[in-house]
């Protein structure tokens, strides 16, 4: 017989790993957009929820296979983000204090989306489940892990890896990092800054959608995920250092394990509260974050 404490401990580890990878991915999406465009997306939590809600509708109400539903949402996310950038985001590119304007505008989007959620999906169900892609439990060494969570974990890690490599070596990634570091200098070197902004917004938003979809593949979810994830992603970005993908990765993983541990011993709200406090402490003591360049 296995020691039950050991089992709890192991499942905590795997949960932490899955949550951490998803947190890190989502926060990376938020931090790329902020670092590049200076857009602190307060609606990231709502975006994170929107994607799996649509996928849930496609797979349960319309009977699509979950793989198809997830892929369709990811693809549909691109024109959504594109329209948002054209209609709204780009209007502020020349505003001096645009991060405040953006924050207020995205708070407005948050309010709209949460209103929409509560009169639509909120009426249809309390809990949402995307049908699992795979059944059963896989053992990685001694670690038990449901197969669909393993898929989510692998997906999140793969995307994170791709982000890292892409930002470092791809032409677009390098241009994006140049804009991160110094807008004016990048513009002088002939980088089309507005195109990079558009690309960063599409990339960051898609990454957030992907994070939400991966989360929904691993766990069932409800509407409260939006605000807790919004806070978590922001806290990770601030603590890790706005614009730092490495910071998002390290702090995201850390927060994932914290969440897993706290959820065993206390309520998840305690975890959210601890992120809030961590964010506040960093804001007050070291606003540039732990991993600032």
Partner 1 sequence: MNRMRASKDMWLWISGAALVIGLALATAGNRFAAFIIGIVFLNVLWTAGMNLLYGYTGLVSMMTAGVAGIGAYGTVKLFLDYGWSFWFAVPVSAVGAAAVGVILGLPALRLRGFYFVLSSLVIQVALTLVFIYFPQFTNGDTGITQIPRPGLWLPGFGAVDLTGPGFEIILGLLALAGVAVVYMIIRSRMGAFIIAIREDDLLAEELGIDVTRYKVMVFFISSLLMAVGGAFYAVYTGFISPRSFDVLMSMNIWLMVAFGGRGTIAGPIIGSAILVPIPFLLQELYQIKDIFYGSLIILVTVAMPAGVYGTILKWWRVRRQKQNTAVAPVAIKRMPAE
Which residues sit at the interface with partner 1, rule CB under 8 A? 40, 42, 88, 91, 97, 99-101, 103-105, 107-116, 118-119, 231, 234, 238, 269, 272-273, 276-277, 279-280, 283-284, 287
Residue 274 and residue 262 in contact, taking contact as beta carbons nearer than 8 Å: yes
* Residue 33 C-beta: closest distance to partner 1, Å: 14
Between residues 11 and 228, which has the closer beta carbon with respect to partner 1?
A: 228
* Residue 288 C-beta: closest distance to partner 1, Å: 10
Residue 21 and residue 160 in contact, taking contact as beta carbons nearer than 8 Å: yes
* Residue 92 C-beta: closest distance to partner 1, Å: 8
**Measured distance CA(260)–CA(18) in Å, rounded:** 9
Between residues 148 and 259, which has the closer beta carbon with respect to partner 1?
A: 259
* Residue 47 C-beta: closest distance to partner 1, Å: 14
Between residues 70 and 275, which has the closer beta carbon with respect to partner 1?
A: 275
What is the helix (H) or strand (E) element at residue 140, kind and residue range? strand 137-140
Between residues 114 and 125, which has the closer beta carbon with respect to partner 1?
A: 114
In the chain, the largest separation of any two C-alpha atoms, in whole Å, equals 67
For 48-93, the DSSP string reads HHHHHHHHHIIIIIS---HHHHHHHHHHHHHHHHHHHHHHTGGGGT
Tokens for 121, please give them.
Answer: 């999906």
Between residues 128 and 275, which has the closer beta carbon with respect to partner 1?
A: 275
Tokens for 275, please give them.
Answer: 């992120």
**Measured distance CA(244)–CA(180) in Å, rounded:** 9
* Residue 115 C-beta: closest distance to partner 1, Å: 3
Sign of the CA dihedral with 118 first, then 119, 123, and 124 last: negative
């Amino acid at each position: 017989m296995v020691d039950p404490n050991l089992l709890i401990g192991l499942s905590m580890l795997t949960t932490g790993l899955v949550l951490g990878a998803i947190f890190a991915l989502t926060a990376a999406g938020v931090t790329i957009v902020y670092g590049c465009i200076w857009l602190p997306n307060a609606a990231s939590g709502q975006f994170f929820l929107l994607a799996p809600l649509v996928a849930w509708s496609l797979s349960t109400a319309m009977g699509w296979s979950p793989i198809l539903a997830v892929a369709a949402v990811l693809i549909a996310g691109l024109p959504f983000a594109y329209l948002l950038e054209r209609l709204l985001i780009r209007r502020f590119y020349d505003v001096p204090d645009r991060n405040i304007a953006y924050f207020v505008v995205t708070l407005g989007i948050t309010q709209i989306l949460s209103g929409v959620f509560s009169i639509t999906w909120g009426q249809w169900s309390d809990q949402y489940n995307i049908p699992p892609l795979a059944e059963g439990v896989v053992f990685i060494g001694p670690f038990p892990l449901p197969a669909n969570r393993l898929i989510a974990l692998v997906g999140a890690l793969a995307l994170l890896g791709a982000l890292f490599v892409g930002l470092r070596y791809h032409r677009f990634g390098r241009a994006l990092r140049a804009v991160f570091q110094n807008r004016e200098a990048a513009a002088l070197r002939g980088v089309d800054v507005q195109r990079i902004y558009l690309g960063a917004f599409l990339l960051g938003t898609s990454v957030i959608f992907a994070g939400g979809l991966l989360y929904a593949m691993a766990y069932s979810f409800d509407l409260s995920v939006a605000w807790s994830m919004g806070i978590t992603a922001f806290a990770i970005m601030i603590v890790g250092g706005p614009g730092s993908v490495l910071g998002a990765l390290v702090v995201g993983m850390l927060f994932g394990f914290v969440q897993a541990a706290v959820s065993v011993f206390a309520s998840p709200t305690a975890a959210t509260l601890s992120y809030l406090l961590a964010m506040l402490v960093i804001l007050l003591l070291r606003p540039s974050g732990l991993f600032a360049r």
